[in-house]
Chain A
Amino acid sequence: MPVLLPAAERLLRSAMRERASGARALQLTPAHGAALLVAFVLGCGIAQAQARSYDPSILATIWKWTPLLARGFAFNLAISFIAMAIGTVAGFFLGFAQISLFPAVKRGAWFTMHFFRNAPWLVLLFYCMFLLPFQVTVFGVTIPIPDWTKATLGLALPVMANVSEIVRGAIQSIPTTQWEAAASLAFNRRQTQWMIIFPQCIKRMLPPWMNLYAILTMSTVLASIVGVNEMMTLTQRALSAENRPGLLLAFYSYVLLWFFVYCYPIARWTVRLEARYAVRQ
């Protein structure tokens, strides 16, 4: 039906963009923020209505727990930074391996990418939590591996796979004529990749990479399931300490607001960068 055409075109465009960037696009709008705010206010109202006469006000309760939750949030950010750093470095090499001229390397990288990109993040997290030992002994020295390290590693794996797709996609989006020009100036393949192709890729990789970071940040709360002391875990603790079922909606929408406030600017900035680079190329 013709009325569906604009929508179909829009879908096609976003699908093509996502395929080119190697990651699904995060589309946060102010409406999401507004909805969260409404949920928060509503939650506060419910909590207030259910409060017993001697309970402190809901806002005072939230304020009381905020320093602890903020510490949890800082932990979420720390996990996201470290997982992103590890995933980016590993994904970078995996991306180059995907375009290797050696068939074995290429196939191995392709398989690794698909395995870690298509496995659910939670499954990878559980793998890391339960397959890695809680301590290792190297030359008689026992090194403990805390849970949050394993969780970070578990999150770094899907990041690696997604970054490798971003790198591969960007490299393959550079016209082959650039490779030809470099070859006829007697550059070898390694020089061509490092000096000519990769520097041109950075601009194209930045928006999907930032997008991936925002997704990762939101996924760090998965670590609460395996018992890491991040914001979500601490929220659960706070709720059980308060022992007031009415606080549930208010507290969880409060947590969501924190994440929204952090991720929304990243998402907006990504969209702006995408638009700017799209015009130039």
Chain B
Amino acid sequence: MPEATAEPIVVVDDVHQSFGEVEVLKGVSFTVAKGGVVCIIGPSGSGKSTLLRCINGLVPIQRGSIRVANFDVHMLGSDKEKIALRKEVSMVFQQYNLFPHKTALQNVMMAPMHVLKENPGEVRERAIALLTKVGLAAKQDAYPGELSGGQQQRVAIARSLAMRPEVMLFDEVTAALDPETVKEVLNTIRGLAQEGMTCILVTHEMRFAREIADEVHFTDGGRIVESGPPAELFDRPQMDRTRAFLSQVL
């Protein structure tokens, strides 16, 4: 198991989060090793997406601590500090959220150019290389509206990678795609994981989670109910709730 030896890059400890009266996370703890791939599964409304948003500081937490690389996420106050964190932690969304007024290439180039202030020529080369990597070199001048869902999502992944993050967060990135295009996006993520990118995925693709994850967490009602390597969690779940969920989705 990689996480037994490698140092953890993400440490989530007893995180509580609530929107007004509604408590979404009720004490969640887990760690991710550098280069590790962690999948979070569970029913809708169990707080999975909120958990990811807490990790890159989009959503503030009320109690507990989150440490990512050298950042204490729960302590970050100013926008400047949050921006420093987000240069290291990039997120890919369910609805792609590409910038519709920019071409695929411009979408990938924007953040490195304006946020990291890198040389436009170098950024361009890197962006084309990334689009080639996700299999969309031919579509670099297309606008998001001209691309299919799967293609948009791959551009979104390239856009996140262009920031050269330490950690990638994937928030149900295949949930809005039709079954045929799911594969092309999953292949892209698989490639990343094999290259040693630290990934945290919220997903409903159980077969994919089983194949790719080092560790799987099953969440329900704002808590992690059960964790373990995919082989154990999927084949020999210990908790009744996990068994009930898996019997529904597998």
Say yes or no: is B79 at the interface (Cβ < 8 Å to chain A): yes
The answer to whether A219 has its CB under 8 Å from any CB of chain B is no
| B interface bracket (residues with beta carbon within 8 Å of A) | 20 to 34
The CA-CA distance from A183 to B213 in the complex, in Å, is 27
Instruction: Take A180-B58, A195-B110 as given contacts and tell me if A186 and B163 are in contact as well, using a CB distance cutoff of 8 Å.
Output: yes
What DSSP secondary structure best describes chain B's contact surface? mixed
Contact, CB under 8 Å: B114 / A191: yes
Closest to B145 in A: A280
Residue of B nearest to A182 (CB): B99
* B95 in the interface (beta carbon within 8 A): yes
Query: A200 contacts which chain B residues (CB < 8 A)?
Result: 99-101
B93 touches A191 (CB 8 A): no
Measured CB to CB, the closest approach of chain B to A118, in angstroms, equals 33
Check B115 against A181 for contact (C-beta < 8 Å): no
**Minimum C-beta distance from B114 to chain A (A):** 6
Contact residues in B for A86 (Cβ distance below 8 Å): none
**Interchain CB contact (< 8 A) of A196 among B56, B84, B99:** B99
Q: Which of B82, B97, B101, B110 contacts A177, CB < 8 Å?
A: B97
Residues of chain B within 8 A (CB-CB) of A188 are 79-80, 83
> Are A185 and B58 closer than 8 Å at their CB atoms?
no
Chain B residue at minimal CB-CB distance from A280: B145
State which residues 166-221 of A face B: CB under 8 Å.
Answer: 177-178, 180-189, 191, 195-196, 199-200
Contacts of B89 in A (CB 8 A): 184
Asked if A184 contacts B101 (CB within 8 A), the reply is no
Please list the residues of chain A having a beta carbon within 8 angstroms of any beta carbon in chain B: 177-178, 180-189, 191, 195-196, 199-200, 280
Give residues in B with beta carbon < 8 Å to A.
56, 58, 79-80, 82-84, 86-87, 89-91, 93, 95, 97-101, 110-111, 114-115, 145, 159-160, 163
